[in-house]
């Protein structure tokens, strides 16, 4: 399926979208962090790195805009509007100046990483996530991007299952839907 670096970037895209965009989560309304809570939310949404300290507010604000754009990509793919998703990703690639680069990682062979035009935290992550979405949409794996089908939940996911059957953002949503179906069957039997 996806290589390790692309998986990391797709996971970051999912985490940013789910943490930084308003909507519904696991049956309840979800309001994304704002103000003073926003930099910490971004810090927690991104994969941990030994080099990153606190996230600056301007980078957090930039990543909110990126998350909103990436949400639109997931929704377009989920609605089978692949052309629209591609246009949205192309816009993200252009605005971030996404470019591949070979990077050396201690103890490992050279790896292709994706950088932005200025390699700041916000532009760098935005460019990397946009590139990972482009790699998914530009392959047979576009259908692996999804929006939770549980009632009152619009969180996104990347389906890493072997047979591409995932429909929920989390086990909590899957359990919630199964429990509701069980209760409905029991009620209809009475």
Are the C-beta atoms of residues 69 and 88 closer than 8 Å to each other? yes
Indicate the burial class of 81 (C-beta count within 10 angstroms; 0-12, 13-18, 19 or more). Answer: middle
Q: Which residues pair with 56 in a beta bridge?
A: none
The answer to whether position 178 is within a domain reads no
Q: CA neighbours within 13 Å on the CB side: how many for 139?
A: 12
Domain range for residue 73?
4-142
Query: Residue 120 contacts by C-beta under 8 Å, 6 or more apart in sequence?
Result: 59
- Closest alpha carbon to 1 in 109, 110, 120, 139: 139
- Output the pLDDT for position 53: 79
pTM: 0.91
The answer to whether position 128 is within a domain reads yes
Residue 88: CATH number of its domain: 1.10.3300.10
Q: What confidence tier does 1 reach under pLDDT thresholds 50, 70, 90?
A: low
What rounded mean pLDDT belongs to the chain?
92
The answer to whether position 85 is within a domain reads yes
The answer to whether position 86 is within a domain reads yes
pLDDT by residue (tens digit) across 172-188?
Answer: 999 998 887 778 888 88
pLDDT by residue (tens digit) across 115-148?
Answer: 999 989 999 999 999 999 999 999 988 999 999 9
The answer to whether position 131 is within a domain reads yes
The total of structural domains in the chain comes to 1
């Amino acid at each position: 399926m996806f290589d390790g670096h692309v998986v990391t970037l797709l996971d970051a895209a999912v985490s940013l979208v789910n943490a930084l965009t308003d909507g519904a989560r696991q049956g309840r309304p979800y309001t994304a962090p704002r103000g003073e809570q926003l930099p910490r939310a971004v810090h927690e949404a991104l994969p941990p790195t030994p080099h990153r300290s606190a996230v600056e507010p301007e980078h957090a604000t930039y990543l909110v805009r990126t998350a909103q754009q990436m949400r639109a990509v997931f929704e377009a793919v989920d609605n089978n509007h692949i052309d629209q998703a591609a246009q949205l990703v192309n816009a993200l690639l252009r605005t971030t100046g996404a470019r591949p680069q070979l990077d050396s990682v201690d103890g490992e062979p050279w790896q292709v990483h994706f950088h932005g035009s200025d390699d700041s935290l916000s532009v760098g992550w935005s460019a990397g996530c946009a590139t990972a979405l482009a790699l998914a949409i530009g392959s047979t794996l576009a259908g692996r991007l999804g929006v939770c089908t549980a009632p009152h939940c619009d969180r996104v996911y990347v389906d890493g299952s072997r047979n591409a059957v995932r429909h929920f953002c989390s086990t909590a949503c899957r359990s919630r839907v199964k429990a509701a179906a069980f209760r409905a069957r029991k009620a209809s039997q009475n």
